[in-house]
Amino acid sequence: GPNGAGKTTFFNLITSHIRPDSGKVYFMGRDVTGRRPSQLARMGLVRTFQIVRPLRNLTVLENVQVGAGIVGTDTDEVLEVLSLVGLDSKSSLPAGLLTHGEQKKLEVARALAMRPRALLLDEPLGGLTYSEAEEVLDVIKQVNRRGTTVVIAEHRLREVFRVTKRVVVMDQGRVIYDGPPESVSKSTEVVKAYLGGRALEI
């Protein structure tokens, strides 16, 4: 959905950063409404945030260890995650020296180190160049191939549609489209929400 559609609020509700006024949240068939975010993460429901906040003075490796709560343990698993996102060669660098695109990858790596069953990515392409976005999308495809469900909140349609099987479009907190990506441009409500009625080209 466009900015202000409710994407981040939806993620916040699912992951208990906001408590719902009504309704229930289910994960893997269990009612998890009101569980603490840390509890949900241990169950395998993990998210990233729009604004990346790496621990700038710690190394890339240490950032992933801290994020996953595995400081002081064997580093092989962390290095494997960093290899997956293309940051293994920078594991000993301070995170503050990474580019914005690399910091986005680091955010994904921190989430992956928690072994998610479902990974919620909040605007993973925000502020990235086209080539940086392509690299992040390649990581997302690899993660999904390994069996992790990936949910992406994003408004860069053209890029993200290449890795999605199902699209849910929101506008002002309500769902206005739910279906395959190839049909979304035919939805009059989606076109109106994005462009005020002008044709939407994907």
What is the spatial distance between Cα 57 and Cα 10, in angstroms, rounded to a whole number?
32
Model confidence at 72, in pLDDT bands (50, 70, 90)? low
Give pLDDT, residue 160: 86
Pick among 3.30.1360.30, 3.40.50.300, 3.30.110.70, 3.40.50.720: CATH of 7-163:
3.40.50.300
Question: Is 175 within 8 Å of 166 (Cβ atoms)?
Answer: no
Q: What is the DSSP letter of 94?
A: B
Helix 100-112 vs helix 60-68: crossing angle, to nearest 10 = 40
113-161 tens-digit pLDDT: 898 999 999 999 988 899 989 989 999 999 999 999 999 998 887 888 8
Predicted model pTM: 0.86
10-55 tens-digit pLDDT: 999 999 999 989 999 999 999 999 999 999 999 999 999 888 888 9
98-126 tens-digit pLDDT: 999 899 999 999 999 898 999 999 999 98
73-84 tens-digit pLDDT: 568 888 989 999
How far is C-alpha 201 from the chain's CA centre?
24
184 pLDDT higher than 90: no
Task: With H, G, I as helix, E, B as strand and everything else as coil, classify residue 74.
Answer: coil
What is the spatial distance between Cα 56 and Cα 94, in angstroms, rounded to a whole number?
6
Give pLDDT, residue 68: 72
Query: Between 7 and 196, where is the model more confident?
Result: 7
Q: Locate the DSSP E strands across the chain.
A: 26-27, 30-31, 45-47, 118-122, 149-153, 167-171, 174-179
Q: Domain residue spans in the chain? A: 7-163, 165-202
Q: Where are the alpha helices (DSSP H) in 55-182?
A: 60-68, 76-85, 100-112, 130-145, 157-160
Question: Is 41 within 8 Å of 195 (Cβ atoms)?
Answer: no
What is the spatial distance between Cα 108 and Cα 120, in angstroms, rounded to a whole number?
10
55-71 tens-digit pLDDT: 999 999 999 998 777 65
**How would you class 87 by CB atoms within 10 Å of its CB: exposed for 0-12, middle for 13-18, buried for 19 or more?**
buried
Query: Between 8 and 201, where is the model more confident?
Result: 8
84-97 tens-digit pLDDT: 999 999 999 999 99
